[in-house]
Chains A and B, each alone.
Chain A
């Protein structure tokens, strides 16, 4: 069994009150509850304050490029599908710079747990709007507001083909921890949009703002019903349903490929025995 301390690494340097502290706690708790060991997990991060969570979580880490976490995950998973991979980053990283990769890896149902710490702002670069900022959100470079609809991560995940879609809030730690565990156990593309306050650069979507609006989804919701899930995804801003919106099963990327059956390509040894090579030569001569 692992315990929380097994996953401790460098102490985080976020501002006091940052939602990422809670997210880090929840993630560690989830990993412990599942009995996972640091060496059994690969965390692929992008760039941003949310990504820096990776520096404080002891496990295998790929500190990637801004926006590019998911294609790296694909490479890892195709080379060795047995490993458990999580991708942690912010809303800017997953939905702006990495927007294209987000869509296409959900279409693939890439087997990964995507934890998007969504503070609706660019924290690391000091306060520009992110794709999830409200259209009237004003910043130093959006002096008259953003002027574009905020992206709806849950809806986008649903229509792009994610097979597990959830939403939570860093102030609801028990719920967040349970959802992370479910995402880790899910086989396929699991997305959790985690509403997380940025105390320095988002004075609109504060801890109190999220807490007032985050409302757990009731027991009547059928998580296998895509249309019901979409309805929950399109919430009004006064009631943001949290919990599992959708979960289904479909083959993960690679299942359709002959080469992905049996042992992984990294375990497989290249056997150039004469009986295997001869037919190849026949093609040429």
Chain B
């Protein structure tokens, strides 16, 4: 096998292709999935590219198996991912929950299409925002990112892997049919110039290894199965040894640690874009494909001397409460307009974060067509 091969320099590629390339840069060496529109190109690129860099690719019999295989590969030490869309994302949820409580780093890509159910396979919606947060049962932390361009799809995929490894947790990379299928120019950096985080390995001797001891950062070190360490992994509540426990005190403290490790990482995890916000009176809150229209609307309104800006979420979960609250508190902020292709899944979060500090309105579209700049301008009473 030849050494890792990476394309570099300026390229024209789709968002789905960029996700696949980003995964390779991040060190992903295992993919298991099941074809589904509009995510299939991620698998198609990785089927070809993973073997070139010494990685493994497999189409499984369904999405449940795919997600389980990803967990197994990660536990055995390989950075692993899967990619799907709505119906498949639903099927993966039980295993994602397992990944959360067993603290198994991995990346799950959900290229959103119209839903619920089979909905509209070939067109975008942004209605899996809450599913990314609460799709699996139980009270668990989760990290979810959502790029809005091809270039950012590449970088956010790398960030998804880094965060997964850093916090020992599944990370969900949201995308949508528009971001996944559109083609844009982007720059692929030289490998080695991208910073990559790898899971911390235990330093202790194997017989003293505690697979679920949070340590100073609440993130346990992680040995790979079959590398001299012997440990027990379970979806049951467990103590720091990894073995099941029904001790209420330990259950509570372990679940608290699980949440704390992500809460404490707020600044590391949180990323957003501020576009013309310095003096903005009206702020469009947007993400994914909708943010592209929001950017256009802001530019047009600025030409008319309207003090309009955009707050774009890149990290969706945990929710950037503090950042949004700060913007709402600015004296010049009058309105937050949350634009999204769902019935207000982020709107409710924004309202919660803002807590009445400024007016909040929603602009929603459910017809699988993108929200247009004109629609946004009209919502800001300028057509």
Contacts and interface: CB of A to CB of B under 8 A. Distances in A.
Contact of A67 (B37, B51, B62): B62
B59 A129 contact: yes
B47 A142 contact: yes
B34 A143 contact: no
Contact of B35 (A63, A128, A131, A143): A128
Given A65-B118, A129-B59, A141 B47 contact: yes
Nearest to B43: A141
A244 to B, nearest CB: 28
B345 interface: no
B61 A97 contact: yes
A99 B62 CA distance: 9
B48 A143 contact: yes
A202 to B, nearest CB: 15
Given A67-B62, A99-B61, A131-B61, A126 B48 contact: no
A143 B47 CA distance: 7
Contacts of B43: 141
B51 A128 contact: no
Interface residues of B, number: 17
Interface string B35-70: 111001001100110010000010101100000000
Contacts of B48: 140, 143
B117 interface: yes
Contacts of A122: 35
A215 interface: no
A51 to B, nearest CB: 11
Given A65-B87, A65-B118, A97 B51 contact: no
A96 B35 CA distance: 12
Contacts of A47: 118
A65 B117 CA distance: 8
A12 B44 CA distance: 28
Nearest to A146: B59
Interface in B12-51: 34-37, 40, 43-44, 47-48, 51
A143 B44 CA distance: 10
Interface size class of A (residues with CB under 8 A): 10 to 19
B61 A141 contact: no
B87 A141 contact: no
Contacts of A258: none
Nearest to B36: A125
Interface in A108-155: 122, 125-126, 128-129, 131, 140-144
Interface in B76-102: 87
A65 B57 CA distance: 26
Contacts of A173: none
A129 B59 CA distance: 9
A227 B92 CA distance: 39
A104 interface: no
Contacts of A99: 61-62
Given A140-B47, A143-B47, A96 B62 contact: yes
A131 B60 CA distance: 10
A254 to B, nearest CB: 28
A125 B44 CA distance: 11
Contact of A125 (B35, B51, B57, B87): B35
A125 B62 contact: no
Contacts of B118: 47, 63, 65-66
B62 A141 contact: no
Given A65-B87, A141-B44, A143-B51, A128 B36 contact: no
Contact of A126 (B34, B40, B51, B62): B40
Nearest to A151: B61
A141 B59 contact: yes
Contacts of B57: 141
Contacts of A141: 35, 43-44, 47, 57, 59
Contacts of B44: 140-141
A22 to B, nearest CB: 26
Contacts of A142: 47, 59
Contacts of B59: 128-129, 141-142
Contacts of B34: 96-97
A97 B62 contact: yes
Contacts of A96: 34, 61-62
A51 B59 CA distance: 21
A128 B44 CA distance: 9
Nearest to A122: B35
A125 B37 contact: yes
A20 to B, nearest CB: 19
A125 B40 contact: yes
B46 to A, nearest CB: 8
Interface string A20-32: 0000000000000
A262 to B, nearest CB: 35
Contacts of A126: 35, 40
Interface of B: 34-37, 40, 43-44, 47-48, 51, 57, 59, 61-62, 87, 117-118
19 contacts: A47-B118, A65-B118, A67-B62, A96-B62, A97-B34, A97-B61, A97-B62, A99-B61, A99-B62, A122-B35, A125-B36, A126-B40, A128-B35, A128-B59, A141-B44, A141-B57, A142-B59, A143-B48, A143-B51
Given A125-B35, A125-B36, 6 more contacts: A65-B117, A66-B118, A97-B34, A128-B35, A141-B35, A142-B59
Which 9 residue pairs across A and B have the least CB separation, nearest first?
Answer: A141-B47, A125-B35, A96-B61, A97-B62, A140-B44, A128-B35, A141-B59, A141-B43, A128-B59
